[in-house]
Structure 1
Amino acid sequence: MAQRQAPQLTKEQLLHAFRKMAEIRYFEERVHLENQSGEIPGFIHLYAGQEAVAVGVCENLRPTDVIGSTHRGHGHSIAKGCDLDGMMAEIFGKETGLNHGKGGSMHIADLSVGMLGANGIVGGAAPLAVGAAFTGKYKGEGNIGVAFSGDGGSNQGTVFEAMNMAVVLKLPALFIFENNGFGEATGADFAVGSGDIAARAAGFGLPAEKVDGTDFFAVHEAARRAVERARAGEGPSVIEAKAYRWYGHFEGDPGLYRTKEQLAEIKKANDPLRIFREKVGRKVTAKELDAIEADVRQQVDDAVEFARNSPWPSPDELTTDVYASY
């Protein structure tokens, strides 16, 4: 099915989607390495292995659409258009970061591209996205709100309330549940009482479907249907995307809930970039994709140098941007 869907996208769209997935992969791999040097302050939660979800969804969005993210937000930020230099500098805690070094990894935000922010509150994106969706409906501009949550976040009461409100008010909202198998170190098969995130969400009265979160084309097609439905005034939708994170819950997590052999098999069998290459068809050549990967590697290397050479925030900036004033 996914292979039949691939030709619906132009060559330019396919190349752009692959570039975004490559940006996420190499950004995360480099952050993983840089974190070991001790230069990066705070917690880091890496998104590698789930690239197809963020990109498959965000390739259907407009710049004016709004997304809310999770503590594992680098991938969503990149997919929505956040600048790599600004993101890397933010993670390094530098003044040139998107949030002047004050947000760090778990709170990267850029309202100019519709990124409400990564969020250290589990399930925190759902009510924010519903607020954005209400704004979109009230103003009649056709914009939608998208909430990314994990399998752990799917159990939060605020998420249930947000889905219910979106249904009651028939809001242009999309709830994406990235089921990577573990809420920190607790298996989703234990923590999700019903054992089925999508079916439970459907009980709130909105369409809900499951997709292979390692297959860009499967995610893209499901998101396309949900986005079109939202823009047509038909209300919210849910997508549960099954994927696998390649690193621990956070940098430093020993990951004892998975064996080295299991992780090696996951990387071999469930690599979103490799799956994209296999399903992309004849519109794009391997040489073109190789060139994108090489270019992205250099772009990420440059982002690290930019961050490393950027100044630290001045002490007199400590009390700025603390509260919003209207």
Structure 2
Amino acid sequence: MTAMLDRPSDVDDGLTPERLLRAYRTMKSIRMFEDRVHDEFATGDIPGFVHLYAGEEASAAGICAHLDEDRDTIASTHRGHGHCIAKGVDIKPMMAEIFGRTTGSCRGKGGSMHIADLSKGMLGANGIVGGGPPLICGTALASKIKGDGGVGIAFFGDGASNQGTTAEAMNLASVWNLPAIFVAENNGYAEATAAKWSVSADNIADRAAGYGMPGVIVDGFDFFAVYEVAGEAIRRAREGGGPTLIEVKLTRYYGHFEGDQQTYRPKDEIGHARESLDCLKRFRARVTETGRLTDAQLDQVDAQVAQLIDESVAEAKAAAVPGAADLLTDVYVKY
């Protein structure tokens, strides 16, 4: 049976003021990073395609807040910047990678859709729709064999929920009882195709029953709700309870890609989301009203993140681009 958590969570399990500040810093870093990439892309200095995660911050932050750097892994999507930041990938190499510079996370060869950092357990953003779920079956199987308590998390969109790779990965994870979590970030559109038109079930999480795993729906604008749901699913996976499908319902603030005119969206949809549903506004209101944090503490984080983003862009623009000598580096693995 599919459970639903679309109410404000009452559970602050383990969320000390320090962890709350860390969660806010993560979400604010994602938002400022994406807003700045949006502006810089418009100048023509960023090569390739860019797909922005702004508006979806609570999903990545709420889930990755439970993860360890050394034993837990995530697989991402073409909209992967937020997942990278939430998993601890350094922002400066990320920005350099987006600008296609040699100081980038992948030495300027991957760009926006292929940022990866295996040292952080980030298996990579992925331009293949539905490419991530099979990967985390591999890392989850490795953790199960080693007995290290690690989990694998696959983020994917509503479009990828219809892919055979996703279906096969969920079936395999259930058959092998893997410590795997499948996170369907349902922002309502697969490119320009509405999920209500393309997804046969009322909810993506309803499909969990077909794979013998729990399915949970959660409000993706509420960090605390996502944190609660993810904590339970990850705890269950670590203890040998098997996989879970989590559907996070949210929206993106920008188009499918930079340059998308978004004529398929209702005119007031984005404005309503920014004004009334924004996860950062909700988070700030909750922690200040309850006295857990102050506006001054959050404002300080805002200033620190803004400075980091400015430095990241400046250093990226000053770095070198890959040359002819770099063509054959990092292509083959030598054993």
Are 2:277 and 1:270 equivalent residues in the alignment?
A: yes
Aligned to 1:143: 150
Aligned pair partner of 1:92 in 99, 105, 110: 99
1:21, 1:51 within 8 Å by CA — same for their partners in 2? yes
Alignment of 1:313-324 (within 5 A): 313-324=322-333
Deviations 1:47-83 (A, max 9, x none): 0000000000000001120000000000000000011
Q: How does 1:54-69 map to 2 (within 5 A)?
A: 54-64=60-70, 65-69=72-76
Q: Is the 8 A contact 1:127 1:158 kept in 2?
A: yes
Instruction: Give 2:311's aligned residue.
Output: 302
Cα offset, 1:256, TM superposition:
0.3
Pair 1:282 & 2:288 matched: no
Amino acid at match of 2:304: D
- 1:171-190 aligned within 5 A: 171-190=178-197
Deviation by residue 1:270-320 (Cα, 9 ceiling, x = unmatched): 211001112222111111111111111111011000100111112111011
Q: TM-score, normalised by structure 1?
A: 0.98
Q: Which residue is equivalent to 1:104?
A: 111
One-letter amino acid of the structure 1 residue matched with residue 302 of structure 2: E
Q: Secondary structure at the match of 2:155?
A: strand
Tell me the CA shift for residue 323 of structure 1: 2.9
Q: Where do 1:247-266 residues align within 5 Å? A: 247-266=254-273
1:3–1:279 Cα contact (<8 Å) kept: no
Q: What's the TM-score, normalizing by structure 2?
A: 0.95
Q: CA deviation at 1:167?
A: 0.4
SS state at 2:154 partner: strand
- Residue pair 1:188, 1:195 contacting (<8 A) in 2 also: no
1:10 corresponding residue in structure 2 = 16
Give, in whole Å, the separation in 1 of the partners of 2:216 and 2:285: 24
State which of 46, 53, 56 in structure 1 corresponds to 2:59.
Answer: 53
Superposed displacement of residue 194, structure 1: 1.5
Which residue number corresponds to residue 135 of structure 2?
A: 128
Secondary structure of 1:5's aligned partner: coil
- Residue 28 of structure 1 corresponds to which residue in structure 2? 34
Q: Percent identity?
A: 54
| Structure 1 stretch displaced more, 173-182 or 315-324 | 315-324
2:216 is paired with a residue of what secondary structure? strand
8 Å Cα contact 2:221-2:279 kept in structure 1: yes
Q: Distance in 1 between matches of 2:9 and 2:212?
A: 31
Tell me how large the CA RMSD over aligned residues is: 1.1
Partner of 1:234 in structure 2? 241
Q: Tell whether the 8 Å contact from 2:9 to 2:225 is kept in structure 1 after alignment.
A: no
For 2:225, give the aligned amino acid: A
* Shift, 1:163, TM fit: 0.4
**How far, CA to CA, are the matches of 1:140 and 1:7 in structure 2?**
25
Deviation at 1:3, TM superposition (A): 5.1
Q: Deviation per CA, 1:216-270, whole angstroms, max 9, x where unpaired?
A: 0000000000110011011111110001100000000000012442221121112
State the Cα deviation string for residues 100-146 of structure 1 (Å, max 9, x = none). Answer: 00010000000000000000000110000111100110111111110
Contact 1:201-1:238 at 8 Å conserved across structures: yes
Cα separation, 2, equivalents of 1:7 and 1:277: 18
Cα distance in 2 for partners of 1:4, 1:43 equals 40
1:118 pairs with one of 99, 110, 125: 125
Do the aligned partners of 2:9 and 2:228 also contact (CA within 8 Å) in 1?
no
Check whether the contact 1:73–1:118 (CA below 8 A) recurs between aligned residues: yes
- Decide which moves more: 104-113 or 275-284: 275-284
Q: What is aligned with 2:4?
A: none
Alignment of 1:173-212 (within 5 A): 173-212=180-219
SS of the aligned residue for 2:211 comes to coil
1: CA distance between counterparts of 2:198 and 2:157?
Answer: 12
* Higher mean C-alpha displacement, 143-152 vs 280-289: 280-289
| Cα distance between partner residues in 2 of 1:250 and 1:204 | 32
- 3-state SS of paired residue (1:203): helix
